[in-house]
Structure 1
């Protein structure tokens, strides 16, 4: 058992899930796109600076530059940008649940558009994921949740799934932190333009805003991304992605503890079903164990 990989997977899932709660805190007091652009700029400067000090090179391969461009646009600008805007109206727990369906979307898009085979366990996982989300949405819609907010979160998850399919298989080749930092710069630039066109500079300066911004910039923004790349290098993308099944649990738990968001029975049941669906899809991607003949 790879204890270090398990610790890295748990740490990544917790950091990734906590980002929705800290983002909810930020958008309560600052314009979302402006704050996110500034966060990416700071994270990028820190990441590239540390990478340079470690001897990592900005001279990347064509595939690595494609990864920088695609993830910078789809993950940082679209996925996180849409989620930050949405969380002006959507609770952090619901945003985390929607975002956690990304592995299901990757499997579904790969099946529909790339002809990838999905095993029966994977199909069952997709069905379970859809059912779990339907249970949660049915409960939330009766409570008056923002439909535009849900649409923005869903579009963000779709953008991240497309990015994942586009650049999968690209190796970091020892330049993990440099690639992460450069991706941040792409997101910062795109969001700065969007913020200049759509937002005004109105900030309510509070200690909570400062702490949430610092946490989001350093932990989910930089450390979690670095841990994810290291985890993939250590155990492979398929096995690493299995830890995504923890995201719904961590997402709602952190939001409940720090923001006091309430969860109904339908939410809890839906989260369990979605998590089971994610786990089933990821487990179905593992190659079957070879059959070894045993002498008798």
Structure 2
């Protein structure tokens, strides 16, 4: 598969995650972040496991638990804690620092040596996100900042370890994604019950919102994300992360009537340009020219998705 196609498909994950805020505020019951996290992860994980009809074997029981904790079980609660204690802009900027964590961990654990231009692209992308989401009224809260930093570090560590461990022979990304979501959801569910009490009553609007978060925002998005980790470098994948807050800002403007100032528009252009530059910089030398050219057609993307559903071991 062409690298550009893989990048496009992987990018759909953070783009989808950018819709979480709008869905949560418009459709879901308020003040239930842990319940929402459990509803995103556990049903989606069980669905993917049932579709793949594959359970972990041997060491993959504990590896799935570790990855599920880093990418889901710890990441979701810490992310929500940060979002509740900090203005949304500050939380988004802390999240956009994830690529910098991945650059360091990938160099240490994977031997992916990032050059100065790649690090600069990550910094510029985070700066652009800051221009989009930070306001003059933003205030810092130490527990919220710590939660935001640790959540970014947790997801970064999960991304790098998922790349390091790969997948069991003969097992596709659908199953491995299901294992992680199930493990993370099983960690969050009792925490939600303990902290937030019994689940709230759900109307049709809430069921629609949770259905979207479970199927599109989590099940499909995380499958594309972990699939991308298997085919791209860890640094390349995580440099797509700034697309999430940029999508959130675009949805706020288009669907929620939120105005965008010239500074915010400039920040969006800067962050998006840095994201594209990051993909070109992390392409292998033989692939760089292809990555700089046009992306694949929709028909080729559809064909590659169909092939991947029955994918075997990743050819590295």
Distance 2:81 2:26 in 1: 12
The question of 1:182 aligning with 2:183 is answered: no
Q: Distance in 2 between matches of 1:237 and 1:127?
A: 17
Q: 1:284 aligns with which of 281, 290, 302?
A: 281
SS in 2 for 1:168: helix
Partner of 2:200: 203
Distance, in Å, in 2 between the alignment partners of 1:37 and 1:26 is 16
What is the rounded CA distance, in whole Å, between the counterparts of 2:130 and 2:56 in structure 1? 46
- Give the structure 1 partner of residue 50 of structure 2: 49
**CA–CA separation in structure 1 for the residues paired with 2:212 and 2:159:** 25
Alpha-carbon contact 1:24-1:91 (below 8 Å) kept: no
Deviation track 1:94-153 (CA, whole Å, cap 9, x = no partner) reads: 65554344223311444589886431312322442454455457x42x224564555533
Residue 151 of structure 2 is matched in structure 1 by 156
In the alignment, what sits opposite 1:143?
Answer: 137
Partner of 2:189: 192
Q: Does residue 82 of structure 2 align to residue 70 of structure 1?
A: no
Identify if the C-alpha distance between structure 1 residues 18 and 271 changes in structure 2 by more than 3 Å, giving closer, same or farther: same
TM-score, normalised with respect to structure 2: 0.72
C-alpha separation in 2, matches of 1:131 and 1:164: 22
Which digits, 9 at most, give the CA deviation of each residue in 1:246-280, with x for residues without a partner? 33432321233344444444433334434444444
8 Å CA contact 1:40, 1:221 repeated in 2: yes
TM-score for the superposition, normalised by structure 1: 0.76
1:12: which partner in 2?
Answer: 13
1:91-106 paired onto structure 2 within 5 Å: 95=91, 98-106=94-102
- 1:293 is matched with none
| Equivalent residue number for residue 226 of structure 2 | 229
Counterpart CA distance in 2 for 1:108 and 1:276 is 22
Q: CA RMSD in A?
A: 3.6
Structure 1, unpaired ranges of 5+: 291-296
Cα distance in 2 for residues equivalent to 1:103 and 1:46: 30
Give the counterpart of 1:166 among 161, 164, 173.
161
Structure 1: how far apart are the matches of 2:56 and 2:162?
18
Aligned length: 283
Matched residue of 2:69: which SS? Answer: helix
Q: What aligned pairs does 1:247-286 form with structure 2 within 5 A after superposition?
A: 247-286=244-283
- The C-alpha deviation readout for 1:146-182, integer Å capped at 9, x for no partner, is 6455553333122101222233232224332222122
Question: 1:124 aligns to what SS in structure 2?
Answer: helix
Equivalent residues of 1:66, 1:167 under 8 A apart: no
Contact 1:37/1:188, CA 8 A, preserved across alignment:
yes
Separation in structure 2 between the aligned mates of residue 153 and residue 27 of structure 1, nearest angstrom: 23
